[in-house]
């Protein structure tokens, strides 16, 4: 490798030294590599939230369509297992789902639900439908900006699907404020004002729901989030909650500012489990909870009823909220442990995978046999795999009605060199639409290639002004609502997931396509015969 040093002046040991001519230095290019026999790549998959009182199983479809999206809701499960509870407050995608530790034994069993792309909603009630084309400006994906706060969000649900004149925003930056004017897709004529703003967080997620049975054949998933203690601001851990029937108060304390649907927990001597009630209404001064609401009883977790009329109790109390772990680093990729890696050989690597095998039917004797072929997926590079030894975290069986099998090691037999697995003693016989989650080991991982396109061009040739076509607009532009694809926008959407660098941005002076920089070669020297699109060229100074 050669480095060309242009003429110049430098100070060497205190003396001014001039280099009058060009100097070319030979530098050895590093080509030697060191082989490492084996390495472990640590990986933390998604954000973890624990759930219990589970029915059904979520559909896992990494890299597929939106059928793996679960709904985050602010109410706890009711008496009907498949019915969503409370209001929709967000959504996420499922990475994996398994029991936390011990075998499944009932509603009290905790499960680990790993999520990614977690989005909680900001619900804005509009004073009126946006001007210009009405609801066409509030379609899913539309960009919304608050003119007073500068906050930005994108519409995640159909207009009014969460309530009258309401829009649900995700991927929000900043905090929208009540009363501010909103602009949609940066169209000056498409505006409305916010008459109310509700910003949800993970603290509001009390249950998680998914219904994809009609498209995937997997039973409806519904589960409560595991709730943990939290002391309210300006309260003490020793404060006593005085409860009479469905009202409550704490001496010299105020509940002002607390959200409705918040769950408050306290003890009552009649019940072994703590009482979980919702805060439904407060007095005008915030000092009294005027209405406590009920939740569903879950044996081993909580009692949900309010106290009967005339019954009172005094107890320490806590607010109950879920906890999401690894929320700030919920990637589904892991960095390699070293830099400057030349090649990776995964032909002898072991890869442990989890697979949902659906549309199975148990026998009349309550058994089910699966082969490893059912879990193979050539499109994902899984052409051979073997069943892992049984562990409560590695295997589960869910039936069409949402019931979950209580599996133990004596019910599982792995034969034929790990290619066959048989479950016996199952509680449901001749049960169709059964889903079995299995864990397998793949010997030899297949590498995937990502092509590096050195040079691409993108033209932004649309306008934010409504009603124009290329023939009617003075500059020959088409009208579009897509933010980032119009000449008036402050940001440009490249419409690709990965970009290494931007070389240049050119703006045309008229309706013609911008003219790019050109290199002209001296004729007769054939310098342009080997030119490659995207090749880097530099010149000496």
DSSP string, 367-419: -EEEEGGGG-BGGGTB---EEPPP-TTT-EEE-TTS-B----GGGEEEEGGGT
Give the C-alpha separation, 42 to 335, whole Å: 9
Same domain, 193 and 210: no
| Degrees, nearest 5: CA angle 392-396-398 | 150
Give the tokens for residue 517: 């920089």
Give the C-alpha separation, 425 to 178, whole Å: 59
pLDDT of 319 over the 90 cut:
yes
In this prediction, residues 213-220 reach a mean pLDDT of 82
Picking from 394, 444, 433, 434, the residue whose alpha carbon sits closest to that of residue 414 is: 394
Same domain, 209 and 81: yes
User: 174 lies in which domain range?
Assistant: 122-199
Same domain, 191 and 146: yes
Q: What confidence tens digit (pLDDT) does each residue in 384-417 have?
A: 889 999 999 999 999 999 999 999 999 999 999 9
Residue 337 lies in a domain: no
Q: What is the pTM of this model?
A: 0.85
Residue 179 lies in a domain: yes
Residue 134: the pLDDT is: 52
The mean pLDDT value of the chain amounts to: 87
In this prediction, residues 441-458 reach a mean pLDDT of 80
Picking from 249, 317, 241, the residue whose alpha carbon sits closest to that of residue 285 is: 249
Of residues 519 and 185, more confidently modeled: 185
Of residues 182 and 508, more confidently modeled: 182
pLDDT tier at 541, thresholds 50, 70, 90? very low
pLDDT of 530 over the 90 cut:
no
Q: What confidence tens digit (pLDDT) does each residue in 43-76 have?
A: 777 799 999 999 999 998 876 777 789 999 999 9
Same domain, 208 and 116: yes
Whole-Å CA distances, 64 to 1, 67, 232: 45, 8, 41
In this prediction, residues 507-521 reach a mean pLDDT of 79
* Residue 443, beta-bridge partner list: 350
Same domain, 116 and 210: yes
Average the pLDDT over each of 278-282, 443-447, 509-513 and give the range with the smallest value.
Answer: 443-447
Q: Please report the DSSP string for 70-109 in residue order.
A: EEEESS---SSTTS--S-EEEEEEEEEEEESSSPP-STT-
pLDDT of 332 over the 70 cut:
no
Q: What confidence tens digit (pLDDT) does each residue in 135-194 have?
A: 667 888 889 999 999 999 999 999 999 999 999 999 999 999 999 999 988 887 778 899
Give the C-alpha separation, 435 to 430, whole Å: 13
Last residue of a domain, one of 443, 467, 498: 443
Give the C-alpha separation, 439 to 436, whole Å: 10
Residue 10 lies in a domain: no
Residue 245 lies in a domain: yes
Residue 468: the pLDDT is: 58
Query: What is the length of the chain?
Result: 541
pLDDT tier at 526, thresholds 50, 70, 90? low
> Other CB atoms closer than 10 Å to residue 4's CB: what's the count?
9
Residue 276 lies in a domain: yes
Note the helical H segments in 180-281.
213-216
pLDDT tier at 286, thresholds 50, 70, 90? very high
In total, how many domains does the chain have?
5
Residue 461 lies in a domain: yes
pLDDT tier at 120, thresholds 50, 70, 90? very high
Give the C-alpha separation, 368 to 428, whole Å: 11
Give the C-alpha separation, 423 to 414, whole Å: 9
pLDDT tier at 469, thresholds 50, 70, 90? low
Residue 219: the pLDDT is: 87
The SS3 of residue 185 is coil
Give the C-alpha separation, 442 to 159, whole Å: 45
Same domain, 184 and 209: no
Give the tokens for residue 454: 């050195």
Q: Environment class of residue 293 by beta-carbon count within 10 Å: exposed (0-12), middle (13-18) or buried (19+)?
A: middle
pLDDT of 474 over the 60 cut:
no
pLDDT of 422 over the 50 cut:
yes
pLDDT of 333 over the 70 cut:
yes
Residue 95 lies in a domain: yes
Residue 17 lies in a domain: no
Q: What confidence tens digit (pLDDT) does each residue in 227-250 have?
A: 999 999 999 999 999 999 999 999
Give the C-alpha separation, 101 to 109, whole Å: 9
| Degrees, nearest 5: CA angle 453-489-451 | 10
Q: Which residues of 114-137 are buried (b: 16+ CB within 10 A; e: fewer)?
A: bbbbbbbbbbbbbeeebeebeeeb
pLDDT tier at 515, thresholds 50, 70, 90? confident
Residue 476: the pLDDT is: 65
Give the tokens for residue 384: 């051979």
Residue 489: the pLDDT is: 87
Give the tokens for residue 134: 């009405």
Do the bridges between strand 462-463 and strand 478-479 make them parallel or antiparallel, or are there none, so unpaired?
Answer: parallel
Residue 531: the pLDDT is: 62
pLDDT tier at 257, thresholds 50, 70, 90? confident
Same domain, 220 and 105: yes
> Other CB atoms closer than 10 Å to residue 494's CB: what's the count?
12
Same domain, 314 and 354: no
Last residue of a domain, one of 150, 184, 199: 199
Residue 540: the pLDDT is: 47
Identify the CATH number of the domain in which residue 409 sits.
Answer: 2.60.40
Same domain, 464 and 409: no
Same domain, 101 and 157: no
Of residues 38 and 117, more confidently modeled: 117
Same domain, 116 and 126: no
Same domain, 126 and 116: no
> Other CB atoms closer than 10 Å to residue 180's CB: what's the count?
17
């Amino acid at each position: 490798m050669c480095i060309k040093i242009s003429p110049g002046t430098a100070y060497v040991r205190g003396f001014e030294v001039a280099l009058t001519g060009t100097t070319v230095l030979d530098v050895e290019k590093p080509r030697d590599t060191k082989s490492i026999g084996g390495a472990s790549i640590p990986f933390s998959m998604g954000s973890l939230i624990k759930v219990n009182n589970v029915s059904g199983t979520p559909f896992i479809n990494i890299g597929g369509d939106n059928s793996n999206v679960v709904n985050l809701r602010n109410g706890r499960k009711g008496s009907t297992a498949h019915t969503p509870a409370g209001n929709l407050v967000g959504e996420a995608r499922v990475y994996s789902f398994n029991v936390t530790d011990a075998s499944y034994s009932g509603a009290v069993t905790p499960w680990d639900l790993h999520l990614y792309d977690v989005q909680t909603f900001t619900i804005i009630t509009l004073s009126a439908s946006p001007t210009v084309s009405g609801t066409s400006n509030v379609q899913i994906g539309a960009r919304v900006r608050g003119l007073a706060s500068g906050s930005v969000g994108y519409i995640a649900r159909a207009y009014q699907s969460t309530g009258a004149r309401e829009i649900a925003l995700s991927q929000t930056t900043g905090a929208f404020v009540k009363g501010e004017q909103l602009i949609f897709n940066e169209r000056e004529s498409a505006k409305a004002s916010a008459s109310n703003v509700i910003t949800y967080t993970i603290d509001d997620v009390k249950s998680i729901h998914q219904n994809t049975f009609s498209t995937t054949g997997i039973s409806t998933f519904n589960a409560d989030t595991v709730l943990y203690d939290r002391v309210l601001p300006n309260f003490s851990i020793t404060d006593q909650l005085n409860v009479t029937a469905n009202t409550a108060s704490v001496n010299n304390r105020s509940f002002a500012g607390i959200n409705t649907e918040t769950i408050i927990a306290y003890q009552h001597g009649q019940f072994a489990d703590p009482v979980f009630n919702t805060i439904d209404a407060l007095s005008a001064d915030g000092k009294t909870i005027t209405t406590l609401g009920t939740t569903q009883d879950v044996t081993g977790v909580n009692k949900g009823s309010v106290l009967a009329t005339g019954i009172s109790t005094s107890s320490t109390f806590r607010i109950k909220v879920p906890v999401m772990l690894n929320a700030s680093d919920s990637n589904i990729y892991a960095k390699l442990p070293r830099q400057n890696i030349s090649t990776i050989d995964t032909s002898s690597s072991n890869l442990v995978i989890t697979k949902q095998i659906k549309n199975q039917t148990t026998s009349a004797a309550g058994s089910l046999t699966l082969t490893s072929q059912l879990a193979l997926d050539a499109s994902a590079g899984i052409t051979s795999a073997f069943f892992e030894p049984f562990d409560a975290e590695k295997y589960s069986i869910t039936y069409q009605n949402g019931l979950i099998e209580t599996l133990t090691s004596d019910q599982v037999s792995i034969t034929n060199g790990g290619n066959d697995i048989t479950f016996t003693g199952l509680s449901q016989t001749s049960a169709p639409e059964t889903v079995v989650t299995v864990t397998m080991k793949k010997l030899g991982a297949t590498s995937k290639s990502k092509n590096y396109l050195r040079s691409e061009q993108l033209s932004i040739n649309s306008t934010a002004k409504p009603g124009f076509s290329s023939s009617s607009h003075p500059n020959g532009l088409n009208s579009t609502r897509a933010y980032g694809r119009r000449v008036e926008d402050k940001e440009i959407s490249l419409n690709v997931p990965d970009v290494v660098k931007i070389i240049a941005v050119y703006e045309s002076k008229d309706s013609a396509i911008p003219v790019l920089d050109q290199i002209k070669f001296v004729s007769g020297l054939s310098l342009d015969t080997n030119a490659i699109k995207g090749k880097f060229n530099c010149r000496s100074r």
